[in-house]
Structure 1
Amino acid sequence: MFQIIFLLSLFLSISNAANQDFCVADLKAPDTPSGYPCKPAATVTVDDFAFSGLIAPGNTTNIISAAVTPAFVAQFPGVNGLGLSAGRLDIAAGGVIPLHTHPGANELLIVTYGHITAGFVSSASTVYVKTLKKGEIMVFPQGLLHFQIAAGKSGAVGYVVFSSASPGLQILDFALFASNFSTPLITKTTFLDPVLVKKLKSVLGGSG
């Protein structure tokens, strides 16, 4: 009798798991702290599990001479609930992905063209920097400040994989100098000269 009950329970658990193979995001519904709700299974197609948005290079004609093309849940609904996402980095010669963090995910960088100097700062203020060539990879632990710079004359391309469908992003320079964070508070909390702070705000469009 016990074996029958055990086998029945196992069958029901397997059947239930089969119904939860995936949760393609319903992007028409609001995003929540627990993610997007699932699309009805009848409306899911194979196109929900494929994404072509990383084929084309990003536009690097900007102040950082670089572009990040995301394949997060908002662009790629099939990754909803799977604990991963991706992106493409295009860095022109002399370009940089400035110091930034991903509060919600670890990051793995794969260099596919050129050379990228990349690094991160640990919570103990230790800096880890490495120049990577095509085929090499580097990991950036969740929440730590990190950067990527094109190390060659012809620029570089890399692909990144995150351990979350919504890794989040905060760029340090933009948080300080492209926001309404007041100059006196920035000066007080960073020890930067107020003249420099105002100059950087004028470049990045900040106020205050």
Structure 2
Amino acid sequence: MNRMSPQLTVLLVIFSLHCYMSDMAMASDPDPLQDFCIPNTKWGYGRAARLDTIPCKNSSEATTDDFVFSGLKKPAETFSDMGIAAVSVTPQMFPGLNTLGMSFVRADIQVGGINAPHFHPRATEITYVLQGKVYSGFVDSTNRVFAAVIEQGEVMVFPRGLVHFQMNVGESPATVFGCFNSQNPGAQKIPSAIFGSEIKDELLEKAFGMTPKQIDKMRRKFVPKG
């Protein structure tokens, strides 16, 4: 019986693994396999429910109303201490967005108000100024700041995962619309993440050169009440 050489054996193993991995790769498709997926609300959302665990309702049951959203006509009813009121629109609110890989937000900013430095771990954002003058920018991974005052009709893009911010520098309220290339972009505000979490005070004192009294003051401001 002829025996294969060690070199040929290794080549066959590599070829077999390549074919196996190719079959694995073709076992799924990263793109939607249907025109749309309106969540079947009969299953309910619940606190822990995820949209990817809720089946779509039959496409024949979809209506135009599933693809129209009117919740951005007015600003949110309450403004934060920083002078901003935001309405975030996700598939839970707007079923037609489900599986399309996008979401958006309306933000109204009072004169002098700010959208504190924050980032979205799962999405790039593009912001359009509907009215007002907004100092807007982001910080790259070398700590270089890209910022400008953008006005009505202008847009700015914030690359995924980079810290960005906004401030109304005009003499009247500002309104901006943000669009994300994820239906669940996530949002983490830097002040809240640092001082509203359970990071040890000693570490924060050393990291920011702050006194225990200063840390305590910041804690009281950002730790959630209740």
TM-score range with shorter-chain normalisation? 0.7 to 0.9
Candidates 53, 57, 61, aligned match of 2:75: 57
Candidates 15, 24, 29, aligned match of 2:38: 24
Query: Quick check: 1:40 aligned with 2:57?
Result: yes
Give the C-alpha shift of residue 60 in structure 1: 4.9
Pair 1:116–1:205, CA change in 2 (3 A) = same
In structure 2, the partner of 1:124 is 142
Cα contact 1:25–1:36 (8 A) shared by 2: no
Cα contact 1:26–1:37 (8 A) shared by 2: yes
Q: Identity over the aligned pairs, expressed in percent?
A: 34
RMSD value over aligned CA atoms?
Answer: 2.3
In structure 2, the partner of 1:97 is 115
Give the C-alpha shift of residue 45 in structure 1: 2.3
Aligned to 1:184, what secondary structure does the other structure show?
Answer: helix
Number of residue-to-residue matches in the alignment: 189
Instruction: Extract unaligned runs of 5+ from structure 2.
Output: 1-30
Cα contact 2:113–2:167 (8 A) shared by 1: yes
Candidates 130, 137, 146, aligned match of 2:164: 146
Cα contact 1:25–1:80 (8 A) shared by 2: yes
Query: Quick check: 1:136 aligned with 2:154?
Result: yes
Cα contact 1:26–1:36 (8 A) shared by 2: no
Q: 52-61 vs 87-96, which deviates more? A: 52-61
Give the C-alpha shift of residue 18 in structure 1: 10
Candidates 45, 67, 75, aligned match of 2:85: 67
Pair 1:163–1:46, CA change in 2 (3 A) = same
Give the C-alpha shift of residue 61 in structure 1: 3.3
Deviations 1:57-86 (A, max 9, x none): 124532111012111122212111111111
Deviations 1:77-107 (A, max 9, x none): 2111111111101000110010001111100
Aligned to 1:152, what secondary structure does the other structure show?
Answer: coil
Aligned to 2:193, what secondary structure does the other structure show?
Answer: helix
Aligned to 1:100, what secondary structure does the other structure show?
Answer: strand
In structure 2, the partner of 1:156 is 174
Distance 2:119 2:97 in 1: 21
Distance 2:98 2:80 in 1: 31
Deviations 1:126-160 (A, max 9, x none): 11011001000000000100001101121200111
Distance 2:110 2:39 in 1: 33
In structure 2, the partner of 1:86 is 104
Distance 2:53 2:132 in 1: 37
Distance 2:191 2:100 in 1: 31
Aligned to 1:78, what secondary structure does the other structure show?
Answer: helix
Larger Rg: 2
Instruction: Extract unaligned runs of 5+ from structure 1.
Output: 1-16
